[in-house]
Amino acid sequence: MKKWIYCIAAMCMLSLNALGTRITTDSIVDIKEQLQEADANTWVIFDCDDTLIRNKDQILRRKNELFLMTNAAALIALKGISPKKFKEMVKTVLQTAELTLVHDDLPKIVKNLQEKGVRVLVLTAMVNERFAAAQALDIRIKKLKSFGFDFSKGWETVSRKPFKKPSKESPRYRHGILCSEKRRKGEALKSFVKLSSKKPSKIIFVDDIEKNLEDVEKAAKELGIKFTGILYTAASRPLPNELPFSEEIGKFQLEYICDTGKWLSDEKASRKILERSSNITDASDNKNR
């Protein structure tokens, strides 16, 4: 009897493992190859930051998050910035900091999938954006549109209503963009599947963070959905002509937005630092004459 139980358990494990595949790549060719398998019963799900689009300014990149948070918190305390002003500052950064595509082909890839009848969803965390959560999703939709992405296609019958009042159980959702905030991506996806009354037979999920892939893979298995995960690492490559991360530039950008309410790109901040130091040199030269 015991033998049979072990056999059934082993078979269950095998069938669960058979539901999932995972690959790591920085090549768009590999992504296109994996997506060829997608059909009308497949959901292709993209993470947003560092998968579809990425920040041009160094301080806003994930690897520099600790520096950003620590220095922003110190400045806010030092300058006595009110929560209302802080919210405005976050909104300004979201609206004006420059973004770029992780790969130029991505909007076309999404469009081609949608034309084949594949549902394409964005599953994004937007953890830092929670400070201006009410506007952040609208800004994100607008930004994605400016790059030629429209994720609302195929989700017309899914209303944002079930997610209208975000709570622990319900993530934010609008126009094909699901925002998990501090929740796990897998949990957000499970809520979406449940509340949208739609369930695919297969999910292809592309993200630049391994933990997210593990998490969504686990959720897909629990839902009995086949899973292919792609760890897409292209955003770890530097952008052409980018300035390297500099604490001086980062601190200047933070100080500048606190004082003026405006965001400066790395390039502009670096130019202003140079102008400031040449003004100081000129002033001391004049004094010494």
Residues that bind Mg ion (CB under 5 A): 47, 49-50, 208
Instruction: Work out how close the CB of 47 gets to Mg ion at its nearest, in angstroms, rounded to a whole number.
Output: 4
Closer by beta carbon to Mg ion, 49 or else 215:
49
Q: E strands along the chain, which residues?
A: 20-25, 42-46, 53-55, 99-101, 119-124, 172-174, 177-179, 202-207, 226-232
| Nearest residue to 183 via CA among 120, 123, 226, 139 | 123
Pairing of strands 53-55, 226-232: unpaired
Pairing of strands 172-174, 53-55: unpaired
Instruction: Work out how close the CB of 124 gets to Mg ion at its nearest, in angstroms, rounded to a whole number.
Output: 7
Q: Are 228 and 202 in contact (CB under 8 A)?
A: yes
Instruction: Work out how close the CB of 128 gets to Mg ion at its nearest, in angstroms, rounded to a whole number.
Output: 12
Distance of CA 138 to the CA centre of its chain: 14
Closer by beta carbon to Mg ion, 208 or else 217:
208
Closer by beta carbon to Mg ion, 50 or else 215:
50
| Nearest residue to 57 via CA among 281, 252, 259 | 252
Q: Are 254 and 64 in contact (CB under 8 A)?
A: no
Instruction: Work out how close the CB of 62 gets to Mg ion at its nearest, in angstroms, rounded to a whole number.
Output: 7
Instruction: Work out how close the CB of 20 gets to Mg ion at its nearest, in angstroms, rounded to a whole number.
Output: 20
Q: Are 52 and 101 in contact (CB under 8 A)?
A: yes
Closer by beta carbon to Mg ion, 239 or else 274:
239
What are the residues facing 231 on neighbouring strands?
Answer: 24, 207
Closer by beta carbon to Mg ion, 106 or else 249:
106
φ/ψ of residue 196, rounded to 5:
-90, -5
Instruction: Work out how close the CB of 270 gets to Mg ion at its nearest, in angstroms, rounded to a whole number.
Output: 26
Closer by beta carbon to Mg ion, 47 or else 57:
47
